[in-house]
């Protein structure tokens, strides 16, 4: 008497199709979430390298507007520089910049990091030649998007594993009778 239902080979075929379908779905979902996160992180960050002469030997960036708590990373070729609140720009000179400059959270080799700050600032540099200054503003909410990127990568890996299993899975050999 034969049992109703799938034979071993048919069951494996159905399982392969389901694994392929689920794997492809998870892979597409993971790639989409990763792409969305990357676009949002890149779109929420601001970069600039422009400095203009403010007065003789004094250079400033455009206004750095930190309307939401952010991480500001500045790279400057001059040690005689600092992040100055907009209201203090007219008060700053080469000998008193340290009085008005916001202290960086971390610094190393001409790179200064300011964490969890908000407000309007200029980065001011005192130099005999046009200095090189670049800055990157990353809002703290970008961490949410970084989590999305990580989740998307995990989903993509799971999707690839499921698709691979769906392709590699073989029909069990028929028993010898």
Q: Where do we find the tokens 């399982």?
A: 15
Task: Pick the closest to residue 80 from 91, 62, 90, 95 (CA basis).
Answer: 95
- Residue 45 vs residue 28, higher pLDDT: 28
Burial, 26: exposed, middle or buried (Cβ in 10 Å; 0-12, 13-18, 19+)? Answer: buried
Domain ranges of the chain: 8-42+144-168, 50-131
Give pLDDT, residue 173.
67
Q: 46: pLDDT confidence band, cut at 50, 70 and 90?
A: confident
Q: What is the pLDDT of residues 53-92, one digit of tens each?
A: 999 999 999 999 888 788 889 999 888 999 999 999 999 9
Percent of all residues in the chain with a pLDDT value above 70, rounded to a whole number: 89
Least confident interval from 11-15, 70-74, 110-114, 164-168: 11-15
Mean of pLDDT values over 2-17:
67
Q: 99: pLDDT confidence band, cut at 50, 70 and 90?
A: very high
- Residue 38 vs residue 5, higher pLDDT: 38
Q: Describe the crossing of helices 142-168 and 8-44 by its angle, rounded to 10 degrees.
A: 160
Mean of pLDDT values over 158-167:
87
Give pLDDT, residue 42.
67
Q: 8: pLDDT confidence band, cut at 50, 70 and 90?
A: low
Strand partners, 81: 125
CA distance 114 to 91: 22
Q: What is the pLDDT of residues 106-142, one digit of tens each?
A: 988 889 999 888 899 999 999 999 999 999 888 877 7
CA distance 134 to 146: 23
Q: Six-digit token pair at 64?
A: 């750095």
The pTM is what?
0.61
Give pLDDT, residue 43.
64
């Amino acid at each position: 008497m034969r049992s109703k239902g799938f034979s071993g080979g048919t069951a494996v075929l159905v399982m392969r199709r389901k694994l392929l379908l689920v794997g492809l779905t998870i892979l597409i979902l993971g790639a989409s979430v990763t792409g969305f996160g990357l676009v949002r992180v890149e779109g929420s960050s601001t970069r600039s390298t422009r400095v203009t002469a403010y007065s003789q030997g004094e250079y400033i960036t455009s206004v750095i507007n930190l309307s939401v708590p952010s991480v500001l990373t500045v790279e400057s070729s001059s040690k005689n520089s600092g992040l100055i609140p907009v209201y203090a720009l007219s008060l700053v000179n080469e000998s008193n910049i340290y009085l008005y400059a916001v202290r960086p959270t971390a610094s190393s080799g001409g790179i200064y990091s300011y964490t969890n700050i908000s407000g309007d600032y200029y980065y001011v540099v005192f130099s005999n030649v046009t200095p090189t200054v670049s800055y990157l503003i990353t809002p703290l909410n970008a961490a949410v998007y970084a989590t999305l990127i990580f989740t998307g990568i995990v989903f993509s890996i799971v999707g690839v594993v499921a698709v691979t299993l769906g392709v590699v899975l073989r029909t069990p050999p028929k028993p010898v009778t």
